[in-house]
Amino acid sequence: MKAALVQDFDRPPTYSDLEVPEPKPGEELIRVRASALSQLVRAQASGKHYSGGHPPFVPGVDGVGTRADGTRVYFAFPPAPVGAMAEYTVVKSAYCVPLPDDLDDVTAAAIANPGMSSWAALNERAGFQRGQAVLVNGATGASGRLAIQIAKHLGASRVVATGRNAKSEAALLALGADVYVPLDLPSEELRARFQHELARVDVVLDYLYGPSAEHLLSAAAGHGDGEAARRIRFVQVGSLAGGHITLPAAALRSTGLELLGSGLGSLSNDALIRAIASLMQAVVPARLDVEARAVPLAQVTTAWQDRDDARLVFTMR
C-alpha cells in the first residue's frame, strides 16, 4: 500500500510503499478515504508534541474510511507505527463512528480535530451549560472559528472572540461572535478590556497561551466579591503563542478561577470519541463551517510545506 512516511523529524513525510497492517483482536482494518493535516499531526511529525512517536512512522491521528462491510466511518487513534495517512490502517472498533450520509469525507476529516477541541473542552471539561458566556482566546484559526460556532450552537448567551488580525473581526462576528477584542492593544488597555469582558464570562477557551493568557489570568484577579467568587473556568487547549506563562497568585486567591486543560491525556480516548460522535451529527444541521482543501496523498511531501489558510486534507483515491 501507499502511505506518507516520517523518516526524519526535520523533513516532511515521503510518499512510500509499506505492507498493509494486520489488525489485532479488537481492531479492524480500515480502508482510508481522507485524513486531515492538523496542528497536532504537524507537531507529532516534527517531534514537538508530547504524544508523538519516533521515526519511521506513518503520521495521522484520525480520518474517514470504510470498514470491511463498506460502512463509512470516522476513525481515530490508529496505533503506531501506521497512522491515518495511508491507504489502510487499523483501529479499535470502539474508535469508529458511523457518519451521516449528508456529511462528505473531506469536511468530516477536516472538522473532526479542530471541532472536537472546543466541543470536548466545553462539554467534557468545563461543564458548560446553555446560557453561559464563552471567551475564545485565539479565534482566528480553524479551531477558534469553530469554537465560536460550536459555543453558539450549544446555547452560549454571549461569545467574545480575540485575535491579532483586525481583518478577521467582521468574519468572526458573522460566525456568531458578539464582541471582538484585538490582542495588539497596549497592555493596560488590553487588560482593562479583559476585565470588562470577564465580568460576564463563564468559560475561557484558550488556544494561544503566552502573553494573552497572562493578561486574561491577571485580569481575572479581583472578580471575587468576598462571599461568592465568580466561577471562571479557564480551559487551556492550545499553545500557539508560547508554552509558558507567569501566573499571578492573586488571580487564584481573589476569584473563583479554575484552571483546566483539554487534550490528549486530560481526556480519555473514549471521551474524545463521544465528543466527536456528537460533533459529527451536528455539522450539517448546525451549518458548522471549516475551510478545507483536498490534496492527493501522492503530493504529501510538497503539500506538507504549504501553509495557506485552508485546512489540508489528504485523500487516498
- pLDDT, one tens digit per residue, over 149-180 is 999 999 999 999 999 988 899 999 999 999 99
Q: Given a cut of 50, is residue 40 above it in pLDDT?
A: yes
Contacts 24+ apart (CB under 8 A), 7-14: 7/55, 7/56, 8/55, 9/45, 9/46, 9/47, 9/55, 10/46, 12/45, 12/300, 12/301, 12/304, 12/305, 13/45, 13/59, 13/85, 13/300, 13/301, 13/304, 14/300, 14/301
Is 191 in a helix, a strand, or coil? Answer: helix
- pLDDT above 70 covers what percent of the chain? 97
Q: Given a cut of 60, is residue 311 above it in pLDDT?
A: yes
Give dist(CA 87, CA 65) in Å, integer.
9
* CA-based nearest residue to 233, from 150, 146, 165, 134: 134
Give dist(CA 26, CA 271) in Å, integer.
18
Q: Look at residue 229 in the predicted model and tell me its pLDDT.
A: 65
- pLDDT above 90 covers what percent of the chain? 82
Q: Given a cut of 80, is residue 33 above it in pLDDT?
A: yes
Residues 6+ positions from 179 with CB-CB distance below 8 Å? 158, 159, 160, 161, 197
Q: Look at residue 224 in the predicted model and tell me its pLDDT.
A: 54
Which of 101-105, 167-171, 230-234, 256-260 has the highest mean predicted lDDT (pLDDT)?
A: 101-105
pTM of the model: 0.90
Cell numbers 503566552 label which residue? Answer: 210
- pLDDT tens per residue across span 291-309: 999 999 999 999 998 876 6
**Which residue segments constitute the domains of the chain, with CATH numbers given?**
2-112+269-315 (3.90.180.10), 127-261 (3.40.50.720)
The pLDDT confidence band at residue 227, using thresholds 50, 70 and 90, is very low
Give dist(CA 193, CA 179) in Å, integer.
11
Cell numbers 504524544 label which residue? Answer: 51
Which segment of 151-165, 178-192, 195-209, 216-230 scores lowest on mean pLDDT? 216-230
Q: Note whether 316 and 135 are within 8 A (CB).
A: no
Residue 104 CA: distances (Å) to CA of 64, 110, 115: 9, 10, 15
Residues 6+ positions from 304 with CB-CB distance below 8 Å? 12, 13, 37
- pLDDT tens per residue across span 69-95: 999 999 999 999 999 999 999 999 999
Can you read off the three cell numbers belonging to residue 301?
511531501
Q: Look at residue 79 in the predicted model and tell me its pLDDT.
A: 95
The packing angle between helices 105-120 and 269-282, to 10°, is 120
